[in-house]
Structure 1
Amino acid sequence: MVVFLVVLVVILALLGAVHWYVWRRLVRDLTAPGGAARRIGTGAAVLLPLLSVAALVSGRAGAPFAVEQVLAWPGFLWLAVLLYVTLALVVTEPLRPLLRRLLARRGPVAVAEAPANAVSVPAPVSAGAAEGTAEARAAEGAVEAPASAPDPVPDLSRRLFVNRIVSGTAVAVAVGTVGQGTYGVLRGPRLKRVTVPLAKLPRRAHGYRIAVVSDIHLGPILGRAHTQRIVDTINAAQPDLVAVVGDLVDGSVADLGPAAEPLAHLKARDGAFFVTGNHEYFSGADAWVDHVRELGLHPLRNARVEIGAGFDLAGVDDVAGEREGQGPDFGRALGDRDRSRTAVLLAHQPVVIDDAVRHGVDLQLSGHTHGGQLWPGNFIAELANPTVAGLERYGDTQLYVSRGAGAWGPPVRVGAPSDITVVELASRQA
């Protein structure tokens, strides 16, 4: 409990510092004290982080699903915008003094000037009109003084001018990045194809295709239409088997059951299989296992089935289930099998790869990492996972990690596009 409180305080302090920095650069440095723009900007700097916190905790706090949906879009999108606005502002900090120095060196704007000894030519004016006027004084032979040079940046100090240019550019880059990343998620995942050669795979299983989909994350933002896009993409690939490797949902069956219903239309010769992810244990794992079974998927809860093509398919519960007395049990799933047969394991988190190696698994299919989802999140994901995305080998075991088909939190992906992967098994005997 103490550790949790310390981490919470650190996170809140960091968020507070980041918001203060963004407020300073986008509100204080660009607006007049006491003005309407300053008041509106300061209000947004207070409201937006509150919406983000509310979006993060509303589901766990038991808020009505309709309230979660209202909070989710502004709250989660702001987190993504905040990330990239902060990065853009930090990167452009060195430009501010540089641009101010460049402007200072420009000096006054050049204007056309008459020679110093030039005498103006009197304009013909009437005697009455000339008296007391500037024209009359010029007509008396006064020497014209050069015109004073205007400020090179009219009506703005150099500092304010530079701040507006740099901050405006940072905001434009951040909003454009988040907009493109949001479009990528809402458009739906793209299909990838990967060939995995397996030494023990029988010749008759050569070319066997498994559609791997993970981290769909149905919730207050991604709903039934998202599921339908995924089902359509998988069915168009005509796989032999579908593997749903966890984190299907962020919410209860009561709220999200209808959003998952298109999964009943998945088509594959050997069926569709499901294993739990950590988010299922935040959402009622047992209820979701029952529900996906009703939709026609086959849950593999520390269990194994023999696939007719000639290999074993096993699945283990996610490690998050250990808090509920469940979790992965490799002995149950793989302990008594014939090790001369190829074994393919479905496990949500890549971190169980060491157990897979010890139990002679040939190929582990995982998700969980989202490929980092929001760059530079991939560097953080690398600290916690043996593989963040793609295919790697660990001893005699190969691990394939999908970037996932959805998104958690902000419906945004940057540098880690969503995917569904068709893994084609290749026999070395073919």
Structure 2
Amino acid sequence: MAGLVVTVIVVLALLAGVHRYLWRRFVGDTTAEGSALRRAGTVAAYVLPLLSIGALVSGRAGAPFRLQQVLAWPGYLWLAAVLYLTLALLVGEAVRPVLRRVLANRADRASRVNREGADATAAASEPPADRPNGRNRPSTASVAEASGGAAPSTLVADAPAPQRPAAPTRRLFVARAVGGAAAVAGLGTVGYGTYGVLRGPRVKRITVPLAKLPRSAHGYRIAVVSDIHLGPTLGRAHTQRIVDTINRTQPDLVAVVGDLVDGTVADLGPAAEPLARLSSRQGNFFVTGNHEYYSGAAQWIDQVRELGLHPLENSRVEIDGFDLAGVNDVAGESERQGPDFALALGDRDRTRAAVLLAHQPVVIHDAVAHGVDLQLSGHTHGGQLWPGKYIADLANPTGAGLDRYGDTQLYVSRGAGAWGPPVRVGAPSDITVVELASLRA
């Protein structure tokens, strides 16, 4: 408990520090004291992080689902915006002194040119001592008498000079230029990443040769979809896009490898209903992910069964030419429902090829020990938000794509949805059609 409290304090302190930095660069350095823009920016600096905290905790706190939806879009999008606005500003910190130096050099050159021009003008306008006809130039006093007693220079000096608006200082100009560029880059990145999620996942195709696969199963196609993450931001329309995309591939089998939902059956049951229209030749299968255990795994297993999917709870079925097994997610250990490889694979015929559905890649070593030929996983999202890719690679044996561990191959999908911010940057969502290939074909 003490560790959790320390973690919360550290996270809140980090959020406060980052928002203070964002306020300073976007508001404090670019607006006038007491201006309406500064007041609006200051209010936003308090309200937006509160919305983000509300989006993060409302579901766990049991808030009404409608309130979760109201908080989720602005709150989660702001979290993504904070990341990319901060990264853009950090790049701007390197640009800022260079831009100041360039402007200073330009100002110095302009000042020298003006001084030289003024000196040349003064020299050219200085009157000669004597006129060519031998007469001296009239004195100022004579001119003054002729003009009614006022010297011309006096008349000019007394004329009011036109007032020009004060130009922004060099420091203010640089602050606004860097802040504006950072805002365009950061918010543009978030906008494009949101479009990628709402557009829906693209189909990726790979071929995986299996030494034990018989010739009769050559070309068998499994549509792998993971991390759909139905919740307060991604709902029924998101599910329908995924179902339509899978059905267009006309797979032999559909494998939903966990993290289908972020919420209860009561809230998200209608959003999951399009899964009943999944179409494949030999069935649609499902294994739990860690988020199912945050959302009522037992209820969701019953729900997907009603929708026509076959849950594989530490169990397997025989498919033409290979065994298809599935294990519960490791998060189920907290409910004594964790993965049981012995139950799923212990008594099988090892001369047959085995394909395992397991949400998290970290169980690959258990799969190797039990003679699995191919493990299909998700969980990582490929990092979802760059530079999260590097964290995903460190935390998992494989962050995304196909890899080999001994005689076992591991394929990790980047997933079809998004957790938290409905945004993906550098890790586009996918549905993967895995085509099995026999070495005997």
Fold similarity call, TM over 0.5: yes
Equivalent residue letter for 1:61: A
Structure 1 counterpart of 2:193: 181
Superposed CA deviations along residues 70-121 of structure 1, whole A, max 9, x for unmatched, are: 0011000000110000011112202212211221122236556534241699
Corresponding residue SS for 2:123:
coil
Whole-Å separation in 2 of the counterparts to 1:425 and 1:29? 59
Q: Tell me the equivalent position of 1:425.
A: 436
- 1:318 maps to a residue whose letter is D
Aligned counterparts, 1:1-80, within 5 A: 1-80=1-80
What's the TM-score once normalised by structure 2's chain length? 0.90
1:320 corresponds to: 331
What is the CA–CA distance in structure 2 between the aligned matches of 1:240 and 1:415, rounded to whole Å? 30
**Separation in 1 of the partners of 2:210 and 2:145?**
108
Does residue 215 (structure 1) correspond to residue 222 (structure 2)? The answer is: no
SS at match of 1:94: helix
**Letter of the 1:340 counterpart:** T
Deviations 1:350-379 (CA, angstroms, capped at 9, x unpaired): 000010000000000000000000000011
* Cα distance change on mapping 1:130 and 1:50 into 2, 3 Å: farther
Query: 1:130/1:338 Cα in 2 relative to 1: closer, same or farther (>3 Å)?
Result: farther
What is the SS of the residue equivalent to 2:399? coil
**Corresponding residue number in structure 2 for 1:93:** 93
Structure 1 residue 35: Cα displacement: 2.0
Instruction: Find out whether 1:283 has 2:298 as its counterpart.
Output: no
Q: Where does residue 116 of structure 1 map in the other structure?
A: 123
Counterpart secondary structure, 2:313: coil
The alignment partner of 2:223 has SS state of strand
Q: How does 1:396-415 map to 2 (within 5 A)?
A: 396-415=407-426
Provide closer, same or farther for how the CA distance between residues 52 and 130 of structure 1 changes in structure 2, counting only shifts above 3 A: farther
- Picking from 255, 259, 269, the partner of 2:281 is 269
Instruction: Give the corresponding residue for 2:206.
Output: 194
Q: Equivalent residue for 1:336?
A: 347
**C-alpha displacement of 1:193:** 0.2
Q: CA separation of 1:207/1:86 partners in 2, compared to 1, >3 Å: closer, same or farther?
A: same
Matches within 5 A, 1:346-385: 346-385=357-396
Change (3 A) 1:55 1:133: farther
Q: Per-residue deviation at 1:34?
A: 2.2
1:218 partner amino acid: L
Q: CA deviation at 1:157?
A: 0.9
Question: What is aligned with 2:248?
Answer: 236
Task: Output the amino acid matched with 2:55.
Answer: A
Question: 1:137–1:322: structure 2 CA closer, same or farther, 3 Å change rule?
Answer: same
Choose which of 260, 265, 289 in structure 2 pairs with 1:253.
Answer: 265
Over the matched positions of the two proteins, sequence identity in percent amounts to 72
What one-letter code is carried by the residue in structure 2 that aligns with 1:193? R
Q: Secondary structure at the match of 2:182?
A: helix
Q: CA deviation at 1:268?
A: 0.4
1:25-78: CA deviation from partner (whole Å, max 9, x where unpaired): 111111122222221111111111110010011011000010011001100000
Structure 1: gaps (5+ residues): 143-147
Secondary structure of 2:125's match? coil
CA distance 1:130–1:367, change in 2 (3 Å): farther
The alpha-carbon deviation at position 384 of structure 1 amounts to 1.0
Pick the aligned partner of 1:297 from 303, 306, 309.
309
Deviation by residue 1:154-173 (Cα, 9 ceiling, x = unmatched): 61111111011011101100
Alignment pair present for 1:394 and 2:410:
no
RMSD value, Cα = 2.4
Summarize the Cα distance change of 1:343–1:127 in structure 2 as closer, same or farther, 3 Å threshold: same
Following the alignment from structure 1 to structure 2, what is the Cα–Cα distance between the partners of residues 418 and 321? Answer: 26
Could you tell me which amino acid in structure 1 is paired with residue 94 of structure 2? Answer: P
Which whole-Å CA distance do the structure 2 matches of 1:128 and 1:224 have between them? Answer: 94
Residue 132 of structure 1 and its aligned partner are, at CA, apart by: 7.4
Give me the whole-angstrom Cα distance separating, in 2, the residues matched to 1:268 and 1:29. Answer: 59
**Counterpart position of 1:145:** none
Q: Return 5+ residue gaps in structure 2 as ranges.
A: 128-136
Aligned length: 417
Q: Secondary structure at the match of 1:93?
A: helix
User: Is the 8 Å Cα contact of residues 144 and 150 (structure 2) preserved in structure 1?
Assistant: no
SS in structure 1 opposite 2:254? Answer: strand
Residues 224-256 of structure 1: CA deviation (Å, up to 9, x unaligned)? 111011001000000000000000001111111
SS at match of 1:424: strand
1:155-205 Cα deviation digits (max 9, x unpaired): 111111101101110110001111110000000000000000000001100
Cα distance in 1 for partners of 2:13, 2:354 equals: 47
Structure 1 residues 95-104 or 250-259, which shifts more? 95-104
The AA in structure 1 aligned to 2:275 is: L
Bigger Rg over Cα: 2
Question: Could you say what secondary structure the match of 2:76 adopts?
Answer: helix
